[in-house]
Structure 1
Amino acid sequence: MTAPSTAPDVLIIGAGPAGSACARVLARGGLRVRIVDQHPHGRDKTCGDGLIPDAHKALARLGLLDEVMRLAEPVAHVACIGPRGGRVDVPGSLAVLPRKVLDALMLTAAQAAGAQFEQARFEAPIEEDGRVVGARLKRGDELVEVRADWVVLATGAVPKALTAAGMCERHTPSGVALRGYVKAPQMVGKIKALEVVWDKAVRPGYGWIFPAPDGHFNIGVGVTDSHKDLNGKGRKKDVNLRAIFDAFVEKYAPAAELMRVGEKVGEGDQWLKGAPLRCTLTGAKWTRPGLLVTGEAAGSTYSFTGEGIGKAMETGMLAADAILAHRDDDAAARAAYEASLTTLKPKFDLYERANRVNAHPWLADLLIWRAQKSPRLLKRMSGVLNETSNPGNLVSIKGFSRLFFE
């Protein structure tokens, strides 16, 4: 590979949704942008692949929504399914597109806007007089230095890059997830919603089945409070994701049928892939002179649901907005970016409150039972999905009183 010769204005580390969204906005704003990733163009990512309304909104701003929807599997509802089998379908603008396809599309779009891409691994920042002025990258066996006015870390949940940059405040993840793809054309039409299942068998997490394009299904389990935080280091709780996955398949009849009639995509046990999650906009410093942290590296995944694609893109664009507005004023750019994340933080905190449903599945039963009888509650649940309602209120004392007295 021939490395780009022109020094960039902004060097972005990570070519996922956050990094590519940031790169596209910056490049469209006239800056020279280089985006690097240790994986080749079109890398895969362990994810549920669900695109909820915040992702649709971000993709629309990027000018990519129509192209994404042309490739994605459109979905009309999130199906919330409780331990006793109760179900309520919450409407929303939804879709499913495997991350390998989405990430490749978004990186291509960033390049089309003028950003350069190269495969390289981030080693450490370059610092001068207390400010980050570039990064040391590993290209094959060669260690090189790339100078830039700004460095943006969009390196996801693995903390290695954050640690190297001096930005990591929590080394362990907020949660963990396990997913696989199953090809089962005979199940098309039987599983039409984003099915999310709570049950004692998958406690303290949840299981899911999402219909994907071309007769495929994304099936997995997640635990969004998997590690105990001990002075920022933490240790893993007694959570066995494979055992939780097996329990989910055994307990939930559609999952059992999917596994019985479908074909696993992948070889042997490799068809199931795990990944960490960083949630609630915590676990990392957001800025230091010359450097911004964005996407899941900054904790952009929601607790409770584990959804993070839309907020990764949103935070990436917020980083770009701050740099474009205050390119030559480090303090002002960092202040603007931190203010924008601070504005988002209460919403993440509310999802953290709602996370109690995963630890106490009977709460899901109660909410589903009442939503089946209350159009107003169903509307509020749809509002949570569409980010017009407060998710914490659904499981607060006030929220429970409203379940019975509205």
Structure 2
Amino acid sequence: MNLPLDQLPDRCDVLIVGAGPAGSAAATVLARGGAGVVLIDQHAFPRDKVCGDGLIPDAHRALRRLGVLEEVMTQAQPVTHAGLISPRGIRVDVPGTLAVLPRRELDDIICRGAARAGARMFAPLRFVAPIEEGGMVIGARVAQGSALREIRCRWLVLASGAGPQALIAAGMASRQTPSGVALRGYLKNEAMRGRIDKLEVVWHRAVSPGYGWIFPCRDGVFNVGVGLSEFRRGGGDGNLRALFDAFTRIYAPARELVAGGEWLAPLKGAPLRCSLQGARFSRPGLLVTGEAAGSTYAFTGEGIGKALETGMLAAESLLAGLSRSEADETVRRDYEARIAALQPRFALYERANWVNRHPWLADLVLWRAQRSERIGRRLAGVLDETSNPGQLLTAKGFYRLFTE
């Protein structure tokens, strides 16, 4: 899958920087549509990626569209519920189509799918800067070690993730700091196998303005971590580690998991870019997609499904332009309209961040969900994206909490 550098072409229709979910999804759709696609990543695959590894319904739908869901599910741990736990220990188990698969395996499957579709993948290959002519991007300079190359393309797509370097180099970063940060590690604990069998998400004052999680992988392995929905300057990994230690102190299953478990990989932190904020989405000859465009939900930290979706949206806009020789401005306008259609949902997830800032709200909502089938169904709808969490926290939403 990782082709040698001497096979790197001088030009292509679309050059995609970043072979994670967004980049590989875009590459798959474009290659199926007949475009000549070069996909590059700074790391050879398979490679590790800091994430909770949870696949919720939107990710399942996107993976099905890409034709890789069956392959993913042969390696993933299926899960039937998400367990939501409030500061006072109130618990509601919400049903859903869920699974857990480490990103090392997931991203490799999606990337191999892009290669099968006809995209050419080169890694490790680092994006250095765009090539511009008359204010329009017409290619990119890339590097492998000290070797520099240039690739000309009709379109450059940045799917470079949460790190700001590529966005800054391309003049697309409107904010260099991340929206939030997360820390996770992998633990093996055979005694907890079957005892933690749901996607457990925990709110508590000790981890505010964030949350803790435990997600079960296969073979008695667990992804355990904490996420901060707001970036704290100067916080660093030390601040995250303090939150992680607090989480494993206040939540008994996490405490037991760590006390009796074997670390398979050290704790690792990573930035998050959320709420479709922090980057420009396009300029002449260039589109930004995936987490580089802020495709992670602020409230939940879920980003895999939306990264896949925005990557496919970028590909669909580009295919229409390539097939009909549309003007650059028409393609950009089409893509930005597709992203704009997603923004109201992201805004409501941003509003739902109030739960992370004020964990007592989780006590209120989950207490009512235990007593109201309608509220329980609304929580299931949040997971399935048929209802929105931010609506629970409006004046009307609070009224309905006590009247339904």
Does the TM-score normalized on the shorter chain lie above 0.5?
yes
Q: Give the Å deviation of 1:369.
A: 0.5
Structure 1, residues 216-253: CA drift from partner, whole Å, max 9, x if none?
100000001124xxxxxxx4569811000000001100
Give the corresponding residue for 1:273: 268
Is the CA contact 1:154–1:296 (under 8 Å) kept in the aligned structure 2? yes
CA distance in 1, matches of 2:242, 2:122: 39
Deviation at 1:36, TM superposition (A): 0.4
Specify the code of the residue in structure 2 equivalent to 1:286: F
Q: Distance in 2 between matches of 1:289 and 1:6?
A: 20
- Does the CA-based 8 Å contact 2:10-2:151 persist in structure 1? no
What is residue 197 of structure 1 aligned with on the other side?
202
Residue 256 (1) aligns with residue 258 (2): no
Q: Is the 8 A contact 2:281 2:288 kept in 1?
A: yes
Matched position secondary structure for 2:12? coil
> Structure 1 residue aligned with 2:48, among 40, 44, 56?
44
Match of 1:78 among 68, 79, 82: 82
Q: 1:232 aligns to what? A: none
Q: 1:301-312 maps to which residues of 2 (within 5 A)?
A: 301-312=296-307
2:122 is matched with: 118
Structure 1 residue 185: Cα displacement = 2.0
**Partner Cα distance (1:345, 1:287) in 2:** 16
AA aligned to 1:359 is: R
Counterpart for residue 172 of structure 2:
167
Q: Could you say what secondary structure the match of 1:272 adopts?
A: strand
Unaligned runs of 5+ in 1: 228-234
The secondary structure found in structure 2 opposite 1:373 is coil
Q: Which residue of 2 aligns with 1:392?
A: 390
Preserved CA contact (<8 Å) 1:11 1:151? yes
Matches within 5 A, 1:64-103: 64-103=68-107
Shift of 1:43: 1.6
Aligned-residue sequence identity (percent) comes to 62
Choose which of 8, 11, 15 in structure 1 pairs with 2:12. Answer: 8
Alignment coverage as a number of residue pairs: 395
Q: Does 1:183 align with 2:188?
A: yes
The residue matched to 1:108 in structure 2 has which SS? helix
Secondary structure of residue in 2 paired with 1:247 = helix
Q: 1:190, 1:357 → 2: CA distance?
A: 27
**Within 5 A, what are the aligned runs for 1:7-406?**
7-119=11-123, 120-227=125-232, 235-236=233-234, 240-266=239-265, 271-327=266-322, 328=325, 329-406=327-404
CA contact (8 A) 1:226 1:236 kept: no
SS at match of 1:148: strand
SS of the equivalent of 1:190 reads coil
Alpha-carbon distance, 1:3 to partner: 3.1
Unpaired segments ≥5 residues, structure 2 = none
Retained in 2: the 8 A contact 1:152–1:292?
Answer: yes
CA–CA separation in structure 2 for the residues paired with 1:143 and 1:332? 33
State the secondary structure of the residue aligned to 1:172.
coil
Deviations 1:296-344 (A, max 9, x none): 0000000010000000000000000000011232111111100000000
Are 2:54 and 2:98, in contact at CA under 8 Å, matched by a contact in 1?
yes
Task: Answer whether contact 2:10 2:150 (CA < 8 A) is retained.
Answer: no
Code of the residue aligned with 2:336 in structure 1: it is E
Q: Distance in 2 between matches of 1:127 and 1:253?
A: 56
With structure 1 as the length reference, what TM-score do the two structures score?
0.96
SS of equivalent to 1:69: helix
Taking only aligned residues, the RMSD between alpha carbons, in angstroms, comes to: 1.1
For 1:176 and 1:6, the matched residues in 2 are separated by 37
Deviation at 1:184, TM superposition (A): 1.3
